[in-house]
């Protein structure tokens, strides 16, 4: 086995899950899913699809009607976007791995804002990239914050990818529009790709939605 794989730390999420599986007094939120079963309408639609024989390969980018639906959803939130820019994968971790495989490889520098879902730092390490972590820190009021100057110092012309999860899991930290613009301008100067994991953009307590790089990129 490759040493990069052997040296990966074990998943603490899996440790927690193993300790709680089978217990009726614990809510199973460790894998980022609800403790409720999938809604009946969704299960019925999946069963109907199987009964209709929809079991064959589809377009590599995903079903056309699904991509059109995602396009409309994204357009309503952020900016005009064509369905040709949308790709549907079998899982979120698959999408993130594909993105990393397209952008980074052995010997490349990748900067990640942490703490973050461990798969996000493991993926570039698996590919042989050097991972530099820039940590969030709690302010005096208890809210988590980013040392923007430190991040910009870490992202150099040698940095292939900057990976940012905002709104952040597990801290709840999020980027402001001004911070996004500063980071975007800096990465354009260094030639660094930004991988923005914004899966929690609707799961926050501000107005409507969190700031998205889709909107920021449109203004610059």
What's the half-sphere exposure (Cβ side, CA atoms, 13 Å) at 115? 7
Give me the tens of pLDDT residue by residue for the chain, a chain 220 residues long. Answer: 888 888 888 888 888 889 988 888 988 888 877 878 899 999 999 999 999 999 999 899 999 999 999 999 888 888 788 899 899 998 888 999 999 999 999 999 999 999 998 899 999 999 999 999 999 999 999 999 999 999 999 999 999 999 999 999 889 899 988 999 999 999 999 999 999 998 888 776 666 667 777 766 654 4
Tell me how far apart the alpha carbons of residues 147 and 160 are, in angstroms, rounded to a whole number.
Answer: 20
* pLDDT the model gives residue 177: 87
**Residue in this structure with the two tokens 């299960």, named with its chain if needed:** 43
DSSP structural state of residue 169: T
- Partners of 197 in beta bridges: 165
Tokens of 209: 């939605």
What's the half-sphere exposure (Cβ side, CA atoms, 13 Å) at 96? 21
Tell me how far apart the alpha carbons of residues 212 and 220 are, in angstroms, rounded to a whole number.
Answer: 13
* pLDDT the model gives residue 11: 82
Tokens of 88: 């549907």
Tell me how far apart the alpha carbons of residues 69 and 73 are, in angstroms, rounded to a whole number.
Answer: 6
What global pTM score does this model have? 0.85
Tell me how far apart the alpha carbons of residues 89 and 111 are, in angstroms, rounded to a whole number.
Answer: 24
Tokens of 110: 């990748």
- Partners of 133 in beta bridges: 112
Is the bond leading into 202 cis (omega within 30 degrees of zero)?
A: no
Tell me how far apart the alpha carbons of residues 103 and 88 are, in angstroms, rounded to a whole number.
Answer: 18
Q: Are 84 and 78 in contact (CB under 8 A)?
A: no
* pLDDT the model gives residue 220: 45
Instruction: Give the closest residue to 28 by CA, choosing from 36, 44, 149.
Output: 36
* pLDDT the model gives residue 94: 92
Is the bond leading into 115 cis (omega within 30 degrees of zero)?
A: yes
CB count in 10 Å sphere of residue 39:
10
* pLDDT the model gives residue 81: 83
């Amino acid at each position: 086995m490759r040493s990069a794989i052997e040296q990966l730390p074990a998943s603490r999420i899996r440790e927690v899950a193993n300790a709680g599986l089978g217990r009726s007094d614990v809510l199973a939120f460790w894998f980022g899913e609800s403790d409720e079963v999938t809604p009946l309408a969704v299960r019925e639609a999946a069963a109907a699809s199987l009964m209709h024989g929809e079991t064959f390969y589809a377009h590599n980018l995903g079903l056309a009607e699904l991509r059109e639906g995602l396009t409309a959803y994204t357009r309503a939130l952020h900016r005009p976007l064509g369905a040709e820019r949308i790709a549907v994968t079998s899982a979120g971790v698959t999408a993130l791995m594909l993105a990393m495989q397209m952008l980074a490889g052995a010997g490349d520098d990748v900067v990640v804002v942490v703490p973050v879902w461990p798969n996000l730092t493991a993926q570039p390490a698996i590919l042989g990239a050097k991972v530099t972590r820039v940590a969030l820190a709690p302010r005096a009021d208890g809210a988590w914050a980013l040392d923007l100057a430190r991040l910009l110092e870490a992202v150099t012309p040698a940095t292939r990818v900057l990976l940012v999860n905002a709104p952040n899991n597990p801290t709840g930290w999020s980027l402001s529009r001004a911070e996004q613009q500063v980071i975007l301008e800096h990465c354009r100067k260094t030639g660094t790709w930004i991988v923005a994991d914004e899966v929690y953009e609707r799961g926050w307590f501000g107005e409507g939605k969190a700031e998205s790089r889709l909107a920021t990129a449109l203004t610059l």
